[in-house]
Amino acid sequence: MSDQPAAAAQPAGLSRWQFRTVLTVLLTGQLLSALDQTLVGTALPTMVGEFGHLDSFALVVTSYLLASTASMALYGKLADLYGPKRVYMAAIGIFTAGSLLVGLAQDMTQLVIYRALQGIGAGGLVVIAFTIAASVVPPRQLGRVQGLVGAMYALASLFGPLAGGALTEFVSWRWCFLINVPIGVAGVLALGTLLKLPATRREAKVDYLGAILLVAAISTLVLITTWGGTRYAWDSAVILGLIAGTVALVVALILCERRAPEPIIPLSLFLKPEISLALVITFIIGVATIGAYFFVPIYLQVVRGNDPTTAGLNIVPLMMAVMIGSGASGWLIAAVLGRMKVIVIGGVGIMTTGLYLFSLLDADTPAWQLWCYLAVMGIGMGMVISKLIVTVQNSVSGRDIGTITAQANFFRVIGSAIGTAVFGAVLSARLASESSGLSDSALGALPDGSAVLYQDPAAIHALADSAPAAYEQVVRMFADAMQTVFLVAVPLMVLAFVLCWFLPNTKLRDGDRGHGHGAPGGSDGPGAPAAGAAEPEAVTVVD
């Protein structure tokens, strides 16, 4: 949707009550999104371990990321067709229902399916929220709203891991999801009764075929990275068939997007080398950095023996460093440099160092050393993640800024989904290899044989009392496996570091491009805010 028609349609001014209503509605969706992103990391090892599938946790993460990514690309078009208020209510409703079902899941299959349902709703929480804000909040106040949203993400990043750990340890991991239900219900009720939304709507053509092909292609690619070398040999008929299917689906997707009137992935935007290069770097960083969010908690809870609450506390230095790196680099760009390249190069270099330091972690690493490693990684992440989004935003006209922002987030999340699958497969392969090397006496001492290795961290910790000799071998096995996971990510970051040198050192624009409040900027965390696609034709209707 176009911001200019939206601005024309909005009232001359908002009363204090109207502004608070819009702000409350907007922040409700952001609270749900932020809580989900920050609570789950510390709860994840216990969640999947309860069902005896600690080695398959990547499926839970990937199903959510794939669903949210695919739906994110569709929500903007659906808002054009049906109005942002209705679509936002549907997104919150789907997310809330998915949260309830995840909290009630009884096996691994249900957990994966319900997490995907939750992801479908999550895709619209941020995109449609900013669409609503841009349609009713004057431009001079929109920056203030975005600042509050950024502050919420920052606070959630600090307290979410701790809260997730505390809920998991003292109540149940299920409450990390059930807590979303009352918030979601309140949000839907507030939307339906309080929000009177002047909206923009136009006739839009939704690229459903493109969305289906995209999800299918990414899903087969994830299956290749998850099953290859673990469940099936790389030269097996299953893997070779999946590879052939992925290639065919990608070709079909490109042909579809070239012909679609309003493609879900506008290929024309990628003709600029600087945009294509920035998106490739964004994808690689998404692949490599997923370990900081989902694999570090496994290291903390299994290798170091932290309970979930302590694990949440130990992740706080990473989140604080992300905030510091983002704020300091943002100030340096705005006040001194006026350019992005040197910051991105420095940030990727620091992240590469951080991942290498992670590969040195073991059960005996002192706490202060762990915190320093996390801080190094966090500083680099803060310098890079949102800055790459600004890089691509600076390369397009105002009309395309919403679309390219969504695409930048899309590539990062897809990278995270692929990274989760790849590193999950690496972890599974190493665990299988290491478990085969356990001594007969150690295996005999394990209550359920090698199956205990894939249960929740508490079951593994119990071995310290029931089978101390076996416990030492199990911890060493997990430590070696985690070191391999982080070490595999290092060459990817080295590749991203090299590619960064080829980015143009373009001076960032100061002037208004006619799209002054359409792009929300971006949050330095998973699922950072993304604007919906900007469209020029719009008419005012009553939502």
Q: What DSSP element (H or E) covers 450? A: strand 447-450
Listed residue (414, 411, 412, 405) closest to 532, CA to CA = 405
Is pLDDT above 80 for 55? no
Above 80 in pLDDT, residue 391?
no
pLDDT over 90 at 12, yes or no: no
CB 118 within 8 A of CB 102: yes
Residue 402's pLDDT band, with cuts at 50, 70 and 90, is low
Better-scored residue on pLDDT, 172 or 508 = 172
Return the ∠ at Cα 353 (arms to 348 and 356), rounded to 5°.
125
pLDDT of residue 94: 93
HSE, side-chain direction, 13 A CA sphere, residue 158: 9
Alpha helices in 171-272 (DSSP H): 175-178, 180-194, 208-227, 237-259
Q: How many CB atoms lie within 10 A of CB 75?
A: 27
Top mean pLDDT of 4-8, 377-381, 382-386 is at: 377-381
DSSP states of 499-532: HHTTS--PBPP-S--S-TTS-----SSTT---PP
Integer Cα distance of 348 and 355 in angstroms: 11
418-458 pLDDT, tens digit per residue, is: 887 788 878 877 877 766 666 555 555 555 555 555 666 77
Instruction: Tell me 228's DSSP state.
Output: B
Q: What pLDDT, on the 0 to 100 scale, is given for residue 498?
A: 93
Contact 257/267 with Cβ under 8 angstroms?
yes
Query: Alpha-carbon distance 94 to 86, whole Å?
Result: 12
Which residue type, as a one-letter code, is found at position 247? V
Q: Which residue has the tokens 């009764």?
A: 193
pTM for this predicted structure: 0.71
How many CA atoms, within 13 angstroms, populate the side-chain half-sphere of residue 382? 24
Quickly list DSSP for 351-365: HHHHHHHHTT--TT-
User: Could you give the CA distance from residue 228 to residue 206 in angstroms, rounded to a whole number?
Assistant: 34
Per-residue pLDDT for 529 more than 70?
no
Give yes or no for a contact between 271 and 239, defined as CB atoms under 8 angstroms apart: no
